[in-house]
Structure 1
Amino acid sequence: MVSRKKWSYAAFVCLFLVMIALVGCSSSGSSTENSGDTSDGDSTFDGQTVKVQLIGDFNMDDATDPITGATNKGLKVVKEEFERLHPGAKVEFIIMPWEGYVEKTQAMLTSGEADVYQMPGVADFAPQGVLEPLQTYIDGDDDFSLDVFIDNQVEGWKALGPDDEELQIYGLPFLGDARFITYDKQLFDEWGVEYLSDYPTMEEVMEKAKQMTGTNPVSGEQNYGIWFRGDWSSAFTLVNLAEGQNGSWGEGFAWDEVKFSFDSPEMLKGLEWLLEMKDYAPNGIVSNQGNEAWLTEQNNNAIMLNQGPGDLVKQAYAQGLEDRIGIAQEFKNAEGQGGLFAGSPITIAKNSKVKDLAWEWIKFATSDYVQEYLFEERGLIPSVKSALEFDSVKETEQLMGPIFEALSTPMTPRYPWGSSQPRFILTSEVEAALTGQRTAEEALDRAQKESTDWVESR
């Protein structure tokens, strides 16, 4: 017969071993912290593969950052984490360059090549009936909330499907983006000019640009008061100038309701302002030249209009120029809104055969794990409020603070023509005015007529 003492000891040992086993199982399972895990290791999707299309310079493998020289982790870490959280499921990435992405995305949607799409042109694709509406998934998922996103980001990506009477959610914010005004504090100091206010007016920008065009009194080098891109983004620059006067591009969202105001008094004043500002800019703005020294010690442009984050933060900190860069907001209307709503949402293809797994990917892609990866490894801007607490964001708060503010105050919803022919019509006419081919009034009259004709014949 086993003594009570020996039995108690044996029971204790057995209990201890059971506890170790339980702890081991817990630690080898999925962690929910900062990973967007809502499945708790669920094997519901065993054998399924979700194909995800991404646009840009993503890499599967680790690569050396050309700006910082550091090694950036490839998408393989994202793939491994998603598959860890969803045992038996697989994710495959289809990466395409920005060049020609609209046409390529259209072809992929038609052939059913992917399940999830990075979709900056959601307003153009949703009306075709090729995207899955997401409200049902949102309503049916107790572990998901739209409150995680930065203000106005969800609203800005709403679109109209073929049978919708009101804007609906077809995509959720994935990559944040914004436009703002940047300036070189060192040049302002050398010229003895006060820094731009946080919300400058057109008059303030013009006056300060005038003061800093000429021979720098300290360096003796030629300086220019302003730089702006006179080609690709000029339509958006012009529309923002109208917004700063409480004007707009027009109204409507569905194509049969769109009415342009490209020839409005506010647009005319804005284009005339750009034509005058050209006198304080370097040659070559219509061909995207004259800003080659920006974000270097030799920079010679004081103010930069309609700037996006791009590599701004990464490059400024890599070169130790973060204290030299100032950020002001774009021109805002009386309600505090103005500027291009930019970035990329993610969507589910209507013809996807793994929609539930695709929804799991969308939740994962908007989790802290992926959003932090995008910022730290790719230099891309997060779309979630929690990013304000990322250590990497706090370390760059001097620049990221005003960038996040710009993310929350653009015009929403997004310009419905932002990826369509009217954008290119207006851009072409702004270029014509900047190169002296037409007066501002002639250019805007043509833009108004051609854009209206395009919509009516669509």
Structure 2
Amino acid sequence: MMLKRFFSKGSLLALAFMFILVAALVGCSSDSGGSSSDGGSSNSGGSSSEGSSSGGDGEWAGQTVKVQLIGDFSMEDSTDPITGVKTPGLHVLKEEFESQHPGATVEFIIMPWEGYTEKTQAMLTSKEADVYQMPGIADFAAQGLLEPLQPYIDADDEFSLDIFIDNQVDGWKALPPESSELDIFGLPFLGDARFITYDKQLFDEWGVEYLSEYPTMEEITEKAQKMTGTNPVTGEQNYGIWFRGDWSSAFTLINAAEGLGGKWGTGFAWDEIEFQFNSPEMLQGLNWLLDMQELAPEGIVSNQGSEKWLTKDNNIAIMLNQGPGDLVEQTYAQGLEDRIAIAQEFKDDSGKGGLFAGSPITIAKDSENKDLAWEWLKFATSDFAQKYVYETGAMPAVKSAAEWDNVKEVSELMNPVFEAMSTPYTPRYPWGSAQPRFILTSEIEAALTGERSAEEALQKAQKESTEWLENR
């Protein structure tokens, strides 16, 4: 009755139509609130952040950044069945990032290491993510698939490259298409390094002086020879040295050559690279590895013989080309903190040498969420995220890590790791994730198994790698 007093029949119909239209518009707005700014659904089919949706108000309302990660990441917390150590899930990073960026949503797409290069290529082509963990940065930057970061760094007064451990930024520099100037396409995210590890208890039992901080090949040879045989205290068989004769052998050999003043070759762009796999230093290095093989347990080519390493029953004195991995955690879990020590890999005359390893994070060139992606890169390299990296068993890449309480507690191992991270060969070997690595590895295996002499193996590696380069 009240409506009839104020409106005619025609105006009532118009008002009803207006209410219906407003309701429809509100419904559409609500439905689109969870979509990313590129028009796609905020819940990707390959995403590991279940049930996430951007919502609420804030500077980043309605925006989603999709982050690809490689390895054993998980959204949920997990517990190691052996050590009982609890590892936090990625939900910790998701919650903190979204808290710092009101209205934004972060989604994770996790892939295994197996076949990661091909899968990453496919993802970049189909624009599946905004941010990528990118160990093969050189190849993807050269294809024009990655966003240069220097403009973002220059424009952001709150960010500085000084936060990173020395050489970590330089190690991930790469060449853009049609340029001869290295540029920054990635920021260090997961740190890594290679070094020489040894068991002080075995040295003591044999009466051998500990390794120097920067041992030479001659020093390694002398001390490994002295500790191969029957342990004078335990009566057990000991071996002076061990190294992997399979997938990492190319890097072990290159480092030996660096210690002799040689190098893998020259150049960075594919059309400028010249390999030196058959150089005198490489030949001397491979012959040295063949000599060291005689002081190691059988089976190094098939990654066998080191089963007792980092246990109380360890029977190996020196470990070449060791990575941090679970080194610190396992050393302390086994009660070996007074036994295990670290020396640096072989260095050239400038004090550099060894594999530059780890993973940077990058922004896809085709991302339509680049501002939010840059925010994720800054967050991923902040102390909060880098502490998460350390707590999940990986190495942080920032200088401040040396001052964290949980790092100081294990500083005798961590400080040499940080040293190793600051002195590798940089920029990263451009062929480190490409076919020449596998060609060289195969030929080292052929020498270690006696299929070819060291000289024949390296000549073949040089020839096949050069042919691959010419036909690439």
TM-score for both structures, normalised by structure 2: 0.87
Contact 1:243 1:333 in 2 (8 A): yes
Matching of residues 332-371 of structure 1 within 5 Å: 332-371=347-386
Tell me the alpha carbon deviations over residues 262-312 of structure 1, each in whole angstroms, 9 at most, x when there is no partner.
Answer: 000000000000001110000110011111111101111110000000000
Q: Does 1:387 align with 2:401?
A: yes
Q: Is the 8 A contact 1:198 1:329 kept in 2?
A: yes
Deviations 1:119-165 (A, max 9, x none): 00001111111111111111110100001000000001000111322
Which residue in 2 is equivalent to 1:422? 436
1:322 shift after superposition: 1.4
Is residue 86 from structure 1 mapped to residue 92 from structure 2 by the alignment?
Answer: no
Deviations 1:205-258 (A, max 9, x none): 011111111111111111110000000000000000000011100000000000
Residue type at the aligned position of 2:327: L
Mapped partners of 1:267, 1:178: distance in 2: 21
Shifted more, 181-190 versus 59-68: the winner is: 59-68
CA displacement at 1:70 relative to structure 2: 2.0
Give the counterpart letter for 1:335 in structure 2.
S
The 5 A counterparts of 1:34-433 are 43-376=58-391, 378-433=392-447
Per-residue CA distance 1:308-327 (angstroms, 9 max, x = gap): 00000111112211111010
**Which whole-Å CA distance do the structure 1 matches of 2:81 and 2:274 have between them?**
45
The alpha carbon displacement at 1:67 in A equals 4.7
| Amino acid in the other structure paired with 2:279 | S
Going from structure 1 to structure 2, the CA distance change for 1:42 and 1:444 (only over 3 Å counts) comes to farther
Conserved 8 A contact 1:42-1:86:
no
**Which residue in 2 is equivalent to 1:454?**
468
> What is aligned with 2:6?
none
Distance in 2 separating the partners of 1:165 and 1:452: 21
Q: Distance in 1 between matches of 2:255 and 2:81?
A: 33
Q: For the Cα contact (< 8 Å) 1:67–1:318, is it kept in 2?
A: no
* d(CA) in 2 for partners of 1:448, 1:175: 32
Residue identity in the other structure for 1:134: L
Looking at structure 2, the residues matched to 426 and 113 of structure 1 have their Cα atoms a distance apart, in angstroms, of: 34
CA contact (8 A) 1:68 1:314 kept: no
CA contact (8 A) 1:230 1:287 kept: yes
Residue 98 of structure 1, CA deviation: 1.1
Read off the aligned partner of 1:429 and give its amino acid letter.
Answer: E
Structure 2 residue identity aligned to 1:184: D
Q: CA deviation at 1:44?
A: 2.4
**Letter paired with 2:147:** E
Q: Which amino acid aligns with 2:187?
A: L
Q: In structure 2, what is the Cα distance between the partners aligned to 1:295 and 1:146? A: 36
Match of 1:35 in 2: none
List structure 1 segments (4+ residues) > 2 angstroms apart after TM superposition: 41-44, 65-68
CA contact (8 A) 1:157 1:345 kept: yes
Matched position secondary structure for 1:172: strand
AA matched with 1:399: L
SS of 2:389's partner is helix
- Establish whether residue 438 from structure 1 lines up as the match of residue 461 from structure 2: no
Report Cα offsets for 1:336-359 as digits up to 9, x if no partner.
100000000000011111010000
The answer to which structure, 1 or 2, has the higher relative contact order (CA under 8 A, 6+ apart) is 1
Structure 2 counterpart of 1:99, which letter?
E
CA contact (8 A) 1:42 1:85 kept: no
Please give the TM-score of this superposition, normalised by the length of structure 1. 0.90
Amino acid of the residue matched to residue 308 of structure 1? G
Give the conservation status (yes or no) of the 8 Å contact 1:201–1:331: yes
The structure with the larger Rg is 2
What displacement does 1:104 show?
A: 1.1
| d(CA) in 2 for partners of 1:53, 1:117 | 5
Contact 2:57 2:103 in 1 (8 A): no
Q: Distance in 1 between matches of 2:380 and 2:237?
A: 46
Tell me the distance in 2 between the aligned counterparts of 1:218 and 1:425.
Answer: 43
- Which residue identity does 1:394 align to in structure 2? K
Across the aligned residues of Structure 1 and Structure 2, the Cα RMSD in angstroms comes to: 1.1
Any stretches of 5+ residues in structure 1 without a counterpart?
1-40
Question: Aligned-pair distance for 1:68?
Answer: 2.5
Which structure 2 segments of 5+ residues have no match?
A: 1-55
Counterpart residue type for residue 231 of structure 2: N
Deviations 1:159-214 (A, max 9, x none): 01113220000001001100000001111111111111100000000111111111
